[in-house]
Amino acid sequence: MPNRLGPPLETPLFDRIALIGLGLIGSSIARAVRHRNLARTIVAIDRDDATLARVRELRIADEVTSDLAAGVRGADLVILCVPVGACETVAKTMKASLKAGAIVSDVGSVKASVIAQVQPHLPDGVSFVPAHPVAGTEYSGPDAGFATLFLKRWCILTPPEGTDEAAIERMRDFWSALGSDVEVMTAQHHDLVLAITSHVPHLIAYNIVGTAADLETVTQSEVIKFSAGGFRDFTRIAASDPTMWRDVFLHNKEAVLEMLARLNEDIALLARAIRWGEGDKLHDLFTRTRAIRRGIISQGQETPEPDFGRRREDP
């Protein structure tokens, strides 16, 4: 299957899409929506003037504004592409401007907290379908986006109980049109799964890189100069947006702490095996983990190349 998005739709899925936050995810959605003709009008909303100026230069949106209330007015789909800690403020600001029948969504890596922050502030007649596109790079800003970011990646929808089924299906169609495989699950289950597959790995990466930088017997220049593949790959993850990840850990604390407790227990067993020379236990663990890595590659969520499968491709 070619690594490209499909052709433009003859009839857009939405008339007016408003994107709040034009970083990596928001700008990638804008590019993909433009390429697939998923909306007649794309509205870019951001509070940073430099970001808005760059969005204008890139021409990835039809309208650009820092006025949140005005930007969402008349939109039939509004997507929050902001750090999860900012969602409640955004919801409060835009609630009076949302039109009846609109769908509100987001792209946050935490779902239960986002639902708690946003849903109470949405007016009757507006559907909330939270989403998490499991895709990204370590880069941020409108220049970091590219239309194929979501291609062959998973997007998880976590609609609250009682959400209009038609709205859920429209969001399924939307993310499918962006090239994603779509799955629906509860917010609580999502947060537990992502704690171990995404959140804790990021926390470990931040910690390992920080530990290396603080070593008194190894200079920082040596850490950089002699970085082998493992440490180099950890630094890629640790380069991710600090504001976004601060909010992720604070808003998914229960699941993250549970996974960290499990990890600490497993590390203790691993340390014991090393201390007592239990090579068979080490070999068994490494064999199992290698099989998991191969399974990730076989399912198309990674490539064998050391670029994490994130080379930029033309649509």
- Do residues 125 and 273 lie in contact, with contact meaning Cβ atoms separated by under 8 Å? no
Average pLDDT, the chain: 87
Tell which residue, 109, 62, 102, has the closest CA to residue 82.
109
Q: What are 217-230's pLDDT values in tens digits?
A: 666 677 767 766 67
- Do residues 33 and 77 lie in contact, with contact meaning Cβ atoms separated by under 8 Å? no
| Mean pLDDT (whole number) for 26-31 | 97
- Do residues 104 and 126 lie in contact, with contact meaning Cβ atoms separated by under 8 Å? yes
Q: Give the pLDDT of residue 307.
A: 46
Q: Which of 23-32, 132-141, 242-251 has the highest mean pLDDT?
A: 23-32
101: left (phi over 0), alpha (psi -120 to 50) or beta: left
Q: Give the pLDDT of residue 308.
A: 44
Q: Looking at residue 96, what DSSP letter applies?
A: G
Tokens linked to 6: 């499909």
Q: What are 271-301's pLDDT values in tens digits?
A: 998 999 999 988 988 888 777 666 655 666 5
Tokens linked to 40: 């007649």
Q: Give the pLDDT of residue 232.
A: 74
54's CB contacts (< 8 A; 6+ apart) are 141, 142, 143
Q: What are 5-22's pLDDT values in tens digits?
A: 999 999 999 999 999 999
Better-scored residue on pLDDT, 144 or 208:
144
Q: Give the pLDDT of residue 207.
A: 84
Tell which residue, 71, 70, 80, 69, has the closest CA to residue 104.
80
- Do residues 194 and 183 lie in contact, with contact meaning Cβ atoms separated by under 8 Å? no
- Is residue 1 very low, low, confident or very high in pLDDT (cuts 50, 70, 90)? very low
Q: Give the pLDDT of residue 309.
A: 43
The yes-or-no verdict on residue 105 having pLDDT over 80 is: yes
- Give all domains of the chain, ordered by start, each with its CATH number: 14-185 (3.40.50.720), 189-276 (1.10.3660.10)
- Is residue 303 very low, low, confident or very high in pLDDT (cuts 50, 70, 90)? low
